[in-house]
């Protein structure tokens, strides 16, 4: 292994440790005290903790490891070493947080002496219930940010957090429903357990809001701020458009020959991927280059290859 690859691997494991620690902070200090369950194994672990006092870390690892084993048997060896390490690190950091911090919320509107209509409780280290006035919105936003950064960093390290994603993958194998739809269904059902357990409609609603914020932050961490557009240009002025893209914009692309459906005439088409700034330049000049051009712009969630994001290495 050369030095550059070694540094990359060391950095990825540091990211894995950081992401796992952040996940534990978000779960213990923000999610659990508010009785939220934003999907996943640890969503269920939070419900079990509030109902029966089970430690989040113990409940989480008791679900995660069997799911990982079942997933490997059913789906084959799809889960790399880093995913296994993530499944171990998250409960370890969660156990540390539970032991040192307890389950007290970091964000709240102050403690109250007894149960009121708006109050929530957390379990203190001595086992007693401590009532506090919740600030649901602020806590949900902060929890979503922390969860999103944590899971995004774990993804950047080349791992996954396991858990309910494995259930979705197994269901996908047998139902052929899209994986994204199954993940949404599984996580939503886990969020709805809070309504059944605590009979509070606010809890699943805020859990789903947390999931939404988390997903946006994950995209931001994994893909960065840059957004790209894929542009298809059908034009008779192929040389003019080509010269502008290569010389003025200093971008590359691919040229195809195609046949029109209506008249059967052969026309050229340019395929090019641009960031937002270059797309604005192209749009402002395309009419000058060819007033009769046909332009189709498609949102691109991820671009890999020369000049963009590096192609991923095989999973370790």
Q: What is the pLDDT of residues 288-307, one digit of tens each?
A: 899 888 899 988 767 777 66
Q: Look at residue 314 and tell me if it is in a domain.
A: no
Of 162, 28, 177, the closest CA to residue 93 belongs to: 28
Note the pLDDT of residue 77: 77
Q: Do 107 and 164 lie in a common domain?
A: yes
Residues 57 and 185 in one domain: yes
Stretch 203-220: mean pLDDT, rounded? 91
CATH of the domain at 238: 3.30.70.120
Neighbours of 203 (CB within 10 A): 23
What six digits make up the tokens of 27? 């779960």
In a domain, 138, yes or no: yes
> What are 37-65's pLDDT values in tens digits?
998 899 999 999 988 889 999 999 999 99
**The domain containing residue 70 runs over which residues?**
3-223
Looking at the structure, do residues 232 and 219 belong to the same domain, yes or no? no
Q: Is the pLDDT of residue 316 over 50?
A: no
Q: 170 and 293 share a domain?
A: no
Residues 179 and 268 in one domain: no
Question: In the predicted model, what is the mean pLDDT of residues 165-182?
Answer: 80
Residue 311 lies in a domain: no
Domain final position from 181, 205, 223? 223
- Residue 307 within any structural domain of the chain: no
Burial 9-31 (b: 16+ CB within 10 A, else e): beebbebbbbbbbbbbbbbbbbb
Helix (H) or strand (E) holding 44, with range, is: helix 40-52
Query: Do 188 and 275 reside in the same domain of the chain?
Result: no
Q: Is residue 316 part of a domain?
A: no
Strand partners, 228: 275, 300
Q: Are 268 and 191 part of one and the same domain?
A: no
Residue 311, pLDDT score: 66
Could you tell me whether strands 266-275 and 228-235 are parallel, antiparallel, or unpaired per DSSP bridges? antiparallel
End-to-end CA distance of the chain: 13
Do 68 and 168 lie in a common domain? yes
36 assigned to some structural domain? yes
Can you point out the beta strands (E) in the chain?
A: 120-123, 129-132, 228-235, 254-259, 266-275, 294-300
Encoded tokens for 55: 């430690």
Structure letter (DSSP) for residue 78: -
What are the phi and psi torsion angles at 235 (to 5°)? Answer: -150, 150
CB 191 within 8 A of CB 37: yes
Identify whether 50 is part of a domain: yes
Residue 85 falls within a domain, yes or no?
A: yes
Residues 133 and 69 in one domain: yes
Both structure tokens of 50: 């509030």
Residue 105 has pLDDT above 80, yes or no: yes
Q: Are residues 138 and 181 in the same domain?
A: yes
Mean pLDDT, the chain, whole residue set? 86
End-of-domain residue from the set 187, 202, 223: 223
Over residues 198-213, mean pLDDT: 93
* Same domain, residue pair 291 and 271: yes
What sign does the dihedral 131-135-141-145 (CA atoms) show? negative
Reference 23, options 218, 255, 251; nearest CA is 218
Choosing from 223, 241, 257, the residue where a domain stops is 223
Q: Which structure tokens are listed for 298?
A: 């498609």
Looking at the structure, do residues 179 and 214 belong to the same domain, yes or no?
yes
For the chain, what is the domain count? Answer: 2
């Amino acid at each position: 292994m050369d030095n550059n690859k070694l540094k990359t691997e060391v950095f990825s494991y540091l990211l894995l440790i950081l992401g796992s620690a952040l996940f534990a902070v978000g779960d213990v200090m923000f999610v659990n005290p508010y009785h939220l369950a934003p999907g996943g194994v640890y969503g269920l672990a939070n419900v079990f903790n509030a109902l029966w006092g089970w430690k989040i870390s113990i409940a989480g690892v008791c679900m995660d490891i069997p799911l990982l084993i079942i997933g490997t048997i059913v789906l084959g060896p799809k889960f790399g070493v880093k995913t296994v390490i993530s499944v171990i690190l998250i409960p370890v950091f969660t156990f540390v947080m539970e032991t040192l911090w307890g389950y007290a919320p970091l964000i709240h509107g102050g403690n109250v002496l007894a149960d009121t209509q708006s109050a929530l409780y957390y379990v203190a280290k001595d086992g007693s219930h401590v009532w506090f006035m919740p600030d649901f919105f602020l806590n949900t936003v902060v929890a979503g940010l922390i969860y999103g950064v944590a899971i995004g960093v774990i993804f950047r390290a080349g791992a996954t957090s396991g858990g309910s994603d494995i259930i979705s993958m197994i269901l996908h194998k047998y139902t052929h429903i899209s994986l994204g739809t199954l993940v949404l269904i599984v996580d939503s059902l886990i969020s709805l357990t809070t309504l059944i357990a605590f009979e509070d409609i606010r809890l699943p609603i805020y859990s789903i809001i947390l999931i939404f914020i988390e997903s946006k932050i994950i995209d931001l961490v994994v893909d960065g701020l840059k957004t790209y557009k894929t542009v298809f240009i059908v034009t008779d002025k192929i040389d003019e458009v080509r010269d502008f893209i290569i010389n003025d914009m200093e971008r590359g692309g691919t040229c195809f020959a195609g046949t029109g459906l209506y008249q059967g005439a052969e026309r050229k088409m340019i395929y090019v991927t641009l960031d937002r700034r270059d797309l604005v330049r192209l749009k402002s000049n395309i009419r000058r280059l060819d007033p009769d051009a046909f332009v189709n712009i498609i949102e691109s969630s991820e671009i890999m290859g020369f000049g963009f994001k590096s192609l991923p290495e095989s999973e370790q």
